[in-house]
Structure 1
Amino acid sequence: MKKLTFAMENYLEAIYELSKDGAGVRLSDIAERLGVTKASTNRAMATLSEKGLIINEKYKEIFLTPAGLSLAEFTSKKHQVIHDFFIEILNIDPATADKDACAIEHVISSDSIYAMEKFLHLNKKFQAD
């Protein structure tokens, strides 16, 4: 599959975060979460559906497919690792860390994420000793 745009990854991540309890997500909730119109959210859902990442039946809740869930989980994990690294290692305030993590998560390599995650783990282990 061709790489998703930043916006499409944000939509997937929003669906993932809003559906953590296993329930489906309403289009209006996604639009509100991302601060965008229902019309643009509807177009994005059509694109994600065409790519096989969501199940989106008209006037029904939206669900992630297994492929969509996997991609959304990885995007969310990247966000969390960057966020935690910025706060715990660089002492950046949480609001800035969240904003920057949201921007960086789309362009950072998996290798960099794994290195940051390893560093965080080692730092926590070192602090515990």
Structure 2
Amino acid sequence: MTVAEELSASLEDYLEAIHHIASEKGASKAKDIALRLKVRSSSVTGALHALAKRGLANYAPYDLITLTPEGEKLALDVIHRHEALRDFFITVLSVDKTEADDAACKMEHSVSPEIIERIVQFVKFVQTCPLGGAEWIEGKGFFCEHKDSEGGCPLYKEEKQDSSKEQ
């Protein structure tokens, strides 16, 4: 088992928090981590000991907290998973940002790298669609494999024409 496989969702959240706080403030303190994660100081201390024991964080009581190169790598991986899921929820499912962030935070720990990369590619497809992005069409969804010679979707064009006739 690798270090990443041994990490709990909670410890991954601590890595993510340490990285974000250090990026925002230049350094991480236990108090800032507790506030960000809405946990008690004693919980932060326990998590920091666990991360330090695994070689993922540099920690000494009352000192600034930093991530080791391996801890930084894992934090960036967690952040990548979070952002991929959040972007999918916002861009593809039209979920509001707060709800998308909350859901991404819960799911980021259990989705495989292969699925994350497929989600990333799908979001890129939706964002670079020749139609200027995706629009939900009831009963048809977002995806159409029937592009016409202009690179557009005939179902999308038909739906748009029908909508304009009704108005």
Q: TM-score, normalised by structure 1?
A: 0.94
Deviation digits for residues 77-115 of structure 1, max 9, x if unmatched?
100110010010011111111111000000000011000
Partner of 1:73: 76
SS in 1 for 2:6: coil
Q: Root-mean-square deviation (CA), in Å?
A: 1.5
Aligned positions of 1:82-101 closer than 5 A: 82-101=85-104
Moved more, 18-27 or 50-59: 18-27
The reply to whether residue 32 of structure 1 matches residue 35 of structure 2 is yes
Structure with greater Cα Rg = 2
Deviation digits for residues 44-95 of structure 1, max 9, x if unmatched?
0000000000001221100000000000001011001100100100111111
The reply to whether residue 122 of structure 1 matches residue 87 of structure 2 is no
Partner of 1:46: 49
Q: % of aligned pairs identical?
A: 33
Select which of 52, 55, 62 maps to 1:59: 62
Q: Report how far residue 21 of structure 1 moved.
A: 5.2
Q: Report how far residue 23 of structure 1 moved.
A: 2.6
Gaps of 5+ in 1: none
Gaps of 5+ in 2: 134-150, 152-167
Give the residue type in structure 1 aligned to 2:17: A
Aligned length: 129
Q: Report how far residue 3 of structure 1 moved.
A: 2.0
Which structure is higher in helix share? Answer: 1
**Counterpart-to-counterpart distance in 2, 1:49 and 1:33:** 20
Q: Report how far residue 22 of structure 1 moved.
A: 7.8
